[in-house]
Amino acid sequence: MITIWVPKRLVEVGLCNVAARSPQDLVELCEQSYQDRLDYAAEKIRAARAKIIMLTGPSASGKTTTAHKLAAALMAKGTPAQVVSLDNFFRGSEYYPRMPDGSLDYENPDTLDMPLVSQCLEELSRTGKTVLPKYDFINERRSEETEPIDLAGGVCIVEGIHALNPALTSLVPAGHVYRVYAGLREEYSQDGRRVISTRDIRLCRRTLRDAATRGRSPEKTLAMWERVLDGETRYIKGFKNTADFLLDTSFTYELGIISGLLGQAGKMLSPDSRYTELWDETARRFEHVEPLDRSLVPEGSMLREFYD
């Protein structure tokens, strides 16, 4: 059961627009609120005396940056913390499961070397040391290089979409594991009717990030979206209620940042693309949101993962 539950909240777009008239104040308030949540999570982890922190969340929830910021919050309180990405345990594309149509199933937990993950986490729990694999993303295979890790009496934060899968911690004593689920908890309404969901925000985050920093066209990102959501349903959401802490990764001012960037991404889609309609429909949800300039996102903000 989730012991620290954060219900979703519905915020009127009009209120967001009023707050955005003092954008710097709104940004500072949102950023401080996120930091307060991190500090609270860090206190709960320290109180639990866990050694292995498993952190997951759906696509574009900000789990990767949140894992590193949680580590920083722990270290600021005197607990050494290191982050391990499950991506380094990928087996290699030749071993990936396939979908019924023959395409690679990138969301499947069997893309990971599950026994090796379990072995490394057991060693970290027992001795505080292990040797981690490295993954060669360019050639899509495991690198010959490895990386030794020593927790120095602290904790290990393991981040990845399959982090709450119990198979990964099956060799670790229950009292040594603390589970965190990172997810957006703020949605937006117009005249009392929900118009922008957390899923809409995540789609915009992923599309805008991929276009700006990963060289991936909005069309490619949108083409993958339904498969990503299907993978979340099959492999992530079923373990959500096993989390000990739900960490909110919402930022109210992000609504305006997205509004200011939607048109830019839309221009990258060809008019006859089958995904133009999906993007236009998403953009229409933000039509009443006052845009904010991306430069308002502070250096070091979690949102820099998506709007750098």
The yes-or-no verdict on residue 162 having pLDDT over 80 is yes
C-alpha–C-alpha distance, residues 142 and 112, integer Å: 11
The pLDDT tens digits for 55-94 are 999 999 999 999 999 999 999 999 999 999 999 999 988 8
Give the pLDDT score at 100. Answer: 84
Reported confidence tier of residue 4, pLDDT bands at 50, 70, 90: low
Mean pLDDT of 240-248: 95
Locate the domains of the chain by residue range.
9-307
- Please say whether the beta carbons of 61 and 182 come within 8 A: yes
In contact, 148 and 124? CB cutoff 8 Å: no
308: which 2 tokens?
A: 């750098």
Q: Which CATH superfamily is domain 9-307 in?
A: P-loop containing nucleotide triphosphate hydrolases (3.40.50.300)
| Residue 102 in this model has a pLDDT that exceeds 60 | yes
- Please tell me the distance from the alpha carbon of residue 162 to that of residue 108, in angstroms, as a whole number: 9
pLDDT score of 1 more than 60: no
Amino acid 263: pLDDT = 87
